[in-house]
Chains A and B, each alone.
Chain A
């Protein structure tokens, strides 16, 4: 079946550092891809998405590009802030009725 693999955490960075969280997927066809963010004590929020190959999703300074040749959707941000500390989930639209999530990556940004 379809699956999502994202880098193990936790990831700890200093403020203004560059962030990359790797995400690769296994799927048939051309699934839509998502990044969700979960701030402490809250539910998941959609951060960005891409629906076809070579699409770039972006929001709040975060970016991810849908790479079909490498089956990847890596999340990047050029300069992280303390307020970006959260758990980040990569996900794919597995079918008409389901999202499949990666296990999540905890990011901690220190001042």
Chain B
């Protein structure tokens, strides 16, 4: 089954404790992206990657890091989480060609609470 998986689905942590949210896709997609969803703000892009070792900032990258060492995986790293990073996080993937991305496939989400 074609899918995007995220782990963990739920996480409660404390300020400053480094964490990683994993994302994996089995569709051989070139493009992957991280979004955060907040009430009244919709989805905002954090980082994206157009292929292995190619990453770039989205609209709200502060406080986050990513890496793309393998095509299927795109982990999101919070080196020193703060309460304002409490949010619902989604990973997405898409085919990518010369005309850009196609429709995106989303993971189930990770609800992060930072106290």
Is the pairing of A and B real? yes
A residues apposed to B, CB below 8 Å: 34, 36, 41-46, 49, 89, 93, 95-99, 101-104
Docked-complex contact B42 and A96, CB < 8 angstroms? no
Docked-complex contact B45 and A98, CB < 8 angstroms? yes
What secondary structure prevails in chain B residues at the interface with A? strand
Alpha-carbon gap, A41 to B4, bound state (A) = 15
B residues apposed to A, CB below 8 Å: 4, 31, 33, 40-43, 45, 48, 50, 56, 58, 90, 92, 96, 99-101, 103-109
Offer 11 A-B interface pairs, CB within 8 angstroms, sorted by A: A43-B106, A44-B92, A46-B104, A93-B100, A97-B48, A97-B50, A97-B56, A97-B100, A98-B48, A101-B43, A103-B42
**A36: chain B residues within 8 A (beta carbon):** 106
Q: Nearest A residue to B58 by beta-carbon distance?
A: A98
Identify the interface centre among A42, A95, A99: most chain B CB within 10 Å of its CB: A99
What secondary structure prevails in chain A residues at the interface with B? strand
Alpha-carbon gap, A50 to B105, bound state (A) = 17
**B90: chain A residues within 8 A (beta carbon):** 43-44
Docked-complex contact B100 and A45, CB < 8 angstroms? no
Docked-complex contact B48 and A34, CB < 8 angstroms? no
Q: Nearest A residue to B101 by beta-carbon distance?
A: A97
